Amino acid sequence: MHRIPFSCLHPVLLGVLLALTGAGALSADSTVSKPAGAGRTENITSLNIGDNAWEQPGGALPSLGGGSYRLDHWQGKVVLLNFWASWCSPCQYEIPGLVRLQQRHAAQGLQVVGVGVDKSRPLSNVSRSLGINYPVLVAGEAVGSQLLRHWGDSSQTLPYNVVIGKDGTIHYAGVGQFDEEMFDTYVTPLLAQP
């Protein structure tokens, strides 16, 4: 896995960071443990399970498909937020499974949303070659690094996934590939909710 170099953000980029993630979604004292069934347990600081992801200030990130989106664009759907990069082999291994999940469960209300922690051209090349069928927002390395920290990935390790319920409640956040077993545990019950 690749670590993203930390760099300082210009205030304008910080505004974009806050636009996607929401300022109220964090608590410095909180920790989230990765479930034991996911392979390894890590304490991740700066994220509260149960916080509302839709409660965020304005702004948006550009999409590979055109336009710009805020996370609350998908309000009312179960969102699997997947942070990845073109140079991340585990990310590329994970993506075909996410493509299948989006294809199978879109009608039930699933929306996979990729957040590319990379430049747009390499993200576009990987997206095209792997047949990504869901939106990919382009954060770039600097903003992406801040987003990862904000969502609780203090190790800056990819892939990183967050599950958000239809009402915006954050139900899961963890480092590593999101597989079918994790989908059944964290997403399937949310899809069944009204």
Residue with tokens 């969502």: 151
Q: Which among 47, 41, 71 has a CA at the least distance from the CA of 137? A: 71
Residue with tokens 């347990």: 41
Does the global pTM surpass 0.85? Answer: no
Query: What pLDDT shows up at residue 24?
Result: 32
Query: What pLDDT shows up at residue 11?
Result: 33
Residue with tokens 């992801």: 53
Torsion of CA 27, 32, 3, 142, to 10 degrees: -30
Enumerate residues 6+ apart whose C-beta is below 8 A from 190.
78, 163, 165, 166, 171
Q: How many CB atoms lie within 10 A of CB 92?
A: 16
pLDDT in tens, the chain (194 residues): 444 433 333 333 333 333 444 433 333 333 333 333 333 333 334 657 888 888 755 569 999 999 999 999 999 999 999 999 999 999 999 999 999 999 999 999 999 999 999 999 999 999 999 999 999 999 999 999 988 988 889 899 999 999 999 999 999 999 999 999 999 999 999 999 98
CA distance 68 to 76: 19
Query: What pLDDT shows up at residue 156?
Result: 93
Instruction: At 164, list the tokens.
Output: 């958000």
Query: What pLDDT shows up at residue 59?
Result: 62
The H or E element containing residue 18 is: helix 11-21
Domains of the chain: 61-66+74-194 (3.40.30.10)
Query: What pLDDT shows up at residue 28?
Result: 31
CA distance 88 to 38: 19
SS3 label, residue 105: helix
Exposure string (b/e) for 28-42, b if CB count within 10 Å is 16 or more?
Answer: eeeebebeeebeeeb
Q: Which among 175, 136, 163, 137 has a CA at the least distance from the CA of 79? A: 163
